[in-house]
Structures are given as C-alpha cells and as structure tokens.
Amino acid sequence: MRSAREGAQRGTPPNGLASFRAHPNRLLNVVLDTLDASKAEDVAVIDLRGKTSIGDQMVIASGRSQRHVGAVADHITKKLKDEGFGPARVEGLPQCDWVLIDAGDVIVHIFRPEVREFYNLEKMWSADRPMERLVI
C-alpha cells in the first residue's frame, strides 16, 4: 500500500467553486494529506498537464468499502472548504462505488477496489499523448 506522498512522487473554475489563486501545489498537498489522514489506500497521482485541459493533476485512491469511500470523499470536501478552496463539485456520493471530486486543477477519484480495477483509470491516463501528424 502506497501513502499519498509516495503516489504524488510518481506520477479557473466558475465563481463559487474551488479557487486556485494560492500556490499551485497547495491544493494537491491538502488533498494528499486528507487522503492520508482518512486512511485511503493505493493513492496514485497522474500529471495531466499537456494531456488535457480538465485539470493539472488527477489523484486516484481506494476505500475499503462504500462507507469508507463516502467518508473519505466527505473529509476531502470539508477540508477543501475549510482551507479556503471553496466548495468542490462532487459526483457519485449516493452510491459510493466511485466518487469524483472536481476541485478545479486537481481531480480526485475515490473507488472501491473492484470498481477501480474494472475502470483502470491509471492505465488510460498514464499513456502518453500520440504524436501529432505532420502535414507536408
């Protein structure tokens, strides 16, 4: 099991939502510290810069059960708000199989292990962008 810090070493939203005027890594650090404190498992961080415009970082973590996934997501959203990032957009909280937290520059996915294995986002987003064709 990797800690949030080990995962991080590897790899402007609408008004009223998370704000990123602070240090660019501060948001990522808040997310990783909260995942660590919430006992999230197998944390991975994927750098999205140059791959997409949806965010700069994607954090993927697992919870042990639906209840744990929901609790981790709740801790992250509360911590982001307490730290001054504003309310983040959250999807999937009622079912808690896969919860997505859009905090602007950092996208957080929290899965139950079986669901994470099925979707395998790490493989999809870790691949390099295909070379663009040269038009001669």
Report the Cα 106 to chain-centroid distance in Å. Answer: 6
Residues with Cβ within 8 Å of residue 28, at least 6 apart in sequence: 8, 45, 57, 59, 106
Q: Indicate whether 48 belongs to any domain.
A: yes
> What's the confidence (pLDDT) of residue 136?
56
As a whole number of angstroms, the distance between CA 5 and CA 120 comes to 21
Q: Indicate whether 54 belongs to any domain.
A: yes
In this prediction the pTM is: 0.77
Residues of the chain with pLDDT under 50: 7, 10-22, 133
CATH number for position 48: 3.30.460.10
> What's the confidence (pLDDT) of residue 23?
59
> What's the confidence (pLDDT) of residue 13?
42
Print the domain residue range for 117.
4-8+25-125
For the stretch 28-46, pLDDT in tens is 999 999 999 999 999 999 8
Number of C-alpha atoms within 13 angstroms, CB side, residue 49?
Answer: 5
As a whole number of angstroms, the distance between CA 68 and CA 79 comes to 16
